Every structure is written in C-alpha cells, then in structure tokens.
Structure 1
Amino acid sequence: MNTVFNRLTAFAIVAVSFLHTAAAQDPIAQTPRNRVLIIGIDGTRRDALQRAQTPNLDALIQRGQLWENTQILGPRETQNDTVSGPGWTSFLTGVWADKHGIQDNGFKGNNIKNYPHLFARVRAQYTDAQLGSFVDWKPIDKYIVSEADKRVCHESHGAEAYTANDQRLTDEATEYIRSSDPHAVMVYLGAVDETGHAHGFHPSVPHYIRAIETVDGHVGSLIKAMKSRRRYEEENWLVLLSTDHGGQGTGHGGGRNIPEIRQTWLIVSGDAVINKDKQQPTYLVDLSVTALTHLGVKIDPQWGLDGKPVGIKSN
C-alpha cells in the first residue's frame, strides 16, 4: 500500500512540476520580455547635432549606432509636405503618408484607424504591456496616440513654452520610468523645432545649438531613470532617437528637394544592436518597426508596414 501511495505521490509531484514548467514557457506571453525607450526631438538638423555638445547622445551612439542618412520621405511618391504632421505619423506608425493619409499639419483625411500608432500593435499581442506617451505637440496626442496606459500632453505655443514643457515632460517621464513598470515609452520634445522657427535652423545659430544641448540634458535624465530601475540589467532596453525633419532658414515646409530638410539621422542604442553598417539606407518609418521587432511583436505582412528593423535582428 505504501509503495502504491509513494508512486502516486511521486507522479503527482512530477505532473505539477511539468505543468509549472510548461506555463513558464508558454509562448502566449502577456507582456514583452524586452523594453523600448523612444525619444523624438522635433526639427533637429544632423549637422547641427554634430556641432552641439551632446555627451548623452554621444554615449548612446557608443553603445549602438548613428545613421546620418535617414530620409523623411520614402522611395515612392507620397505628395506629403515636409512638416510635423506627416513626419510624426510616419515615425509612429511605420508607414508613409499615402497609407496613413496625413499630408500636412491639418490631419484631414487620416487613415490612422487602419495604420495605427505602434502602441496598438504592441497591445494586440501583449494585452498587459505598460505603455507611456509624453508629448508637448498636441496633434500627436489628439490624432495619433492610442493604447497608452500613461498619456501626458502639455499643449505648447512658442519656443519659451516648449522649452518649459520639454522640462516638465522629462520630469514626468523620468518618474514614470523609475516608479512604474513600462515596456514602451515614447517622449516627444518640441523646443528645438520652435527655436529653429524663431532663430533659424542652422549649426551657426547659437540659440538653435543651445536648444539641442538642452534637449541632450533631457535625454540624459531619461537614460539615468531607465538605468536606475532595479531590474534594468535583466530588461534589455533599446533606446531609439530620431527627428521628423531638418530645416533651412526659419522653416522646413516645401523641402522635398532640400537635403538639409529631408535627410536626417537615427540613433539605435543598447545591447541588442548588432548592425554596424553605416551605409545601410534608413528611413523615418524604420523606427517604429525596429521598436516592434525588439519587443517581440510578430509583424504581419497584412499590416502593410513600410519600415524595417534597423541595427537589430529581425523576428
């Protein structure tokens, strides 16, 4: 009798152990294993970025890669203007304007429902993912952002307001990163663009360079918060930074054929970065697809995404 009992007990222990192991290895995860921090710095020319003193951005490049050939327009004709509406929509959705429908800053005729914010793609696969969006250009929050658990928008007008709200957003985003458990965070900072409109988009403009250097400080605060997380070493964070356009004079509209406006930059940083090919062509739409890929989201060809993962392994 004892022998039979012992055998049944042993079988039950093995069965429970097997079920526990199977559950732990269940491929249908509720949250991503990896994490992403996305920082968008509006209206930042690549040559001005090189001129400015940016120790925090430089440190990210050392742990990853800088591409200086990133195009804000795609290889096919899309007709959109070189302004923030189509730029940030392409940045956040991974498709060009002929798909998402945003041609200017009016956002009329948008097709965001069919080509949503990258957070919607994350949520569809990972129901319990924690997602945070922090912006101070209101149209991003009004028209593009979706599925954010933490959604902060400080509407701004003019360089001084953007400068103040960039700091405010940075403070709120750093607190969110430190004290919550986010899997993807998007932070938009608008003061560089507004400074360009006020004083000029050029590396010879002191106000414009100082604005970039101020934003570099915000980047440093966000990275410090990320690295202060108790499980940071286990979380495999990828940091992505880019911009929506450059500039010339005090504007950037109508710049489809102006290199200083349409050719920008992209930084991909973290332990996951493996591609060191600086010649690889990159596009604005690549950023969101890179983020999705790092998070383990399975890219469905039916989504019609135009971007590709840059600097990391594809799924």
Structure 2
Amino acid sequence: MPTPADRVLVVGIDGVRLDVLRRLPTPHLDALAADGFRTPVEVDARTPTMSGPCWATVVTGVGVDKHGVWSNDFTGHRLDVFPDFATRLARQDGRRTFVAAGWQPLMQVRDGGPLFRAPSRSAYIAPAEDAPEAWETCDERITEEAAGVLAGEDIDASFVYLGAPDETAHVLGCGAAYEEAVLRADERVGRLLDAVRSRPAYDGERWTVLVVTDHGHVDAGGHGGRSLEERTAWLVANGPGITSAPPQVRHVDVAAQVFASLGCSADRHWTLDGRPFSRV
C-alpha cells in the first residue's frame, strides 16, 4: 500500500486571550482539541509580547537571540540565517509551501518577508486601513484564498494568518466586539478545515493542524508588557501522534512539530530551539 501523505496546516490567530477563548463556544477549535490538545503557551522572558517577535519565534523555531526580531519593524533581524519553516522546507527539502497573510511584516507584495522569505506560493491581501471592519474583510479574503489553495493544490505545509481579533482589541478593548471577532476566527478555521476535508485525496493523507496565537491583551486592549494576560498565549494541536499536551509547550516547538509531522530529518534543521510534541 502507498504511504499516506503527510501535510501540515498552521493557523495563526493574532492576539487571542486564552481566558476569553476558554469561555467562548468555539466548536471548530474545540473539536480539534478534543482529539488532540489545547494548552497554554507562555511568552518567554526574553521575548517582547509583540506580534513581530512572537510570530518570528513561532515560524522559525528559534528564540529572539537567534532570529533577532525584537519589535514589529524587524530591524536587525537574522531571518536569512534562521528562516521560517515555509522557506526552509521549500529550499532545503523541496516541499511545496503556502503562506497567506494580510499583515505587511509577515508577507509583503513583492520579494516576500521580512518574516516569510520565500515560500513556494503566497497570498498577501492587506486591509484597506487599520480598523476592525477592514481587518474582518481582510481575514475573509485570506480565508477564501487559502481555502481554495488547500482544497485544490498539493501543498505540504501552510501558514494562514488571521488578524482581526488583535486589531479589534487594540481599538475596542477585550469586550463584546472582541469576543465576536474571536468567534468569527473560529468559524474561519472551520472553513479551512472543510477545505482540507473536501480534497479528493484527503482519505490518503495524514494532516497535522496547529492553531496558535502570539500573545494576549490587557483588558482595555494593547500588549507589549509582562502581565499574565499579555504573556499567556495558547496552542491547539491535532494530528498523528498528538494525543495530549506535554508538561510545557513553547512557541519554538511549533516549527519543530511542523518538520516532525512531515518526517523531515532532525539533522537537517539542527538550528532549532524547539522540540516536537507528537509521539510518532
């Protein structure tokens, strides 16, 4: 019998507080966690609770001292030495990778990056302005684009970014509008999962799905400090060998798990600070 194909989907939802997530009905994330796990992830003491440093740590699998992203302007980064998993897989392993994002530092219109340097394919769809409504429209378009690619193309590893919850918290705080943004993000995760399951080859594939946030927010909205609300992130993980959360999961472990789920040899990626958490 042919060996099942391994594929990975990582969804990054910006700025979702764990305590808010726990009290909301999020059926798609809950279903993933039921067959895998959901666990807190603490932003480590060296990493600013800002999107740039946190996402760089998530997708490179190394900490700030290596990737050199200390703020949202990415000044002085070392991402050419410590690239994101989509670029590393494409360049070193010949894998097909895809990134869809609307936040400019993640994926710009031309030449990639600064964070995602050279995935096999990318979709950059920017919001018309920095406002909650504009980001909702952006996330909707990102979801539509990513769903089409996931359903119709053979992509080994994907990263899809949803930014509306973070922008809503910045503008309106962590109240009712923020909770609605989190619920819409869960619905978009569900549509991405439906796209995966609609694939003609789905029954012959093994999928790992990782959904992660970068940081939290204070009640009034905002982050960058060291409060519990700001430095508590989370991860939902589902896939072969992922049954229960280990004692501690870190942001650097996400990229390590991507490589492990694809069966990539560890010695090809010796610079990683993270460790996979699956049992296969």
TM-score, normalising length: structure 2:
0.92
What's the C-alpha RMSD, in Å, of the aligned pairs? 1.8
2:114 is aligned with 1:147: no
Structure 1 consecutive aligned stretches of length 4 or more whose deviation exceeds 3 Å: none
After superposition, where does 1:183-262 map in structure 2 within 5 Å? 183-201=156-174, 205-248=175-218, 249-255=220-226, 258-262=227-231
1:97-138: per-residue Cα shift (whole Å, max 9, x none)? 1110011111110000111011233124432x2211000111
2:24 is aligned with 1:52: yes
Partner of 1:36: 8
Report the Cα offset of residue 250 of structure 1: 1.4
Distance 2:278 2:178 in 1: 29
Could you tell me which amino acid in structure 2 is paired with residue 135 of structure 1?
A: A
Distance 1:234 1:286 in 2: 27
Query: Residues 268 and 311 of structure 1 are in contact (CA less than 8 Å); yes or no, is this contact kept in structure 2?
Result: no
Report the Cα offset of residue 271 of structure 1: 3.5
2:87 is aligned with 1:117: no
Query: Residues 63 and 271 of structure 1 are in contact (CA less than 8 Å); yes or no, is this contact kept in structure 2?
Result: no
Pick the structure with more helix per residue: 1
2:34 is aligned with 1:62: yes
Could you tell me which amino acid in structure 2 is paired with residue 150 of structure 1?
A: R
Query: Residues 56 and 115 of structure 2 are in contact (CA less than 8 Å); yes or no, is this contact kept in structure 1?
Result: yes
2:71 is aligned with 1:104: yes
Query: Residues 92 and 118 of structure 1 are in contact (CA less than 8 Å); yes or no, is this contact kept in structure 2?
Result: yes
Report the Cα offset of residue 272 of structure 1: 3.2
* Structure with bigger gyration radius: 1
Distance 1:232 1:150 in 2: 21
Report the Cα offset of residue 279 of structure 1: 5.5
Distance 1:71 1:285 in 2: 11
1:117-173: per-residue Cα shift (whole Å, max 9, x none)? 11233124432x221100011101130113322211112322111110100000000
Distance 1:223 1:283, change over 3 A: same
* Secondary structure of 1:34's aligned partner: strand
Distance 2:74 2:119 in 1: 20
Q: Give aligned pairs, total.
A: 271
* Secondary structure of 2:10's aligned partner: strand
Query: Residues 95 and 307 of structure 1 are in contact (CA less than 8 Å); yes or no, is this contact kept in structure 2?
Result: yes
Distance 1:84 1:165 in 2: 18
TM-score, normalising length: structure 1:
0.82
Distance 1:312 1:165 in 2: 36
Distance 1:232 1:189 in 2: 24
Partner of 2:110: none
Query: Residues 121 and 297 of structure 1 are in contact (CA less than 8 Å); yes or no, is this contact kept in structure 2?
Result: no
Q: 2:103 aligns with which of 137, 142, 149?
A: 137
1:35-85: per-residue Cα shift (whole Å, max 9, x none)? 0000000000001111222111111111211112x1122xxx53x421011
2:279 is aligned with 1:308: no
Report the Cα offset of residue 178 of structure 1: 1.0
2:43 is aligned with 1:90: no
Could you tell me which amino acid in structure 1 is paired with residue 202 of structure 2?
A: Y
Partner of 1:265: 234
Distance 1:240 1:293 in 2: 13
Percent identity between the two aligned chains: 35
1:189-244: per-residue Cα shift (whole Å, max 9, x none)? 0000001111113xxx1111100000111000000000111111211000001111
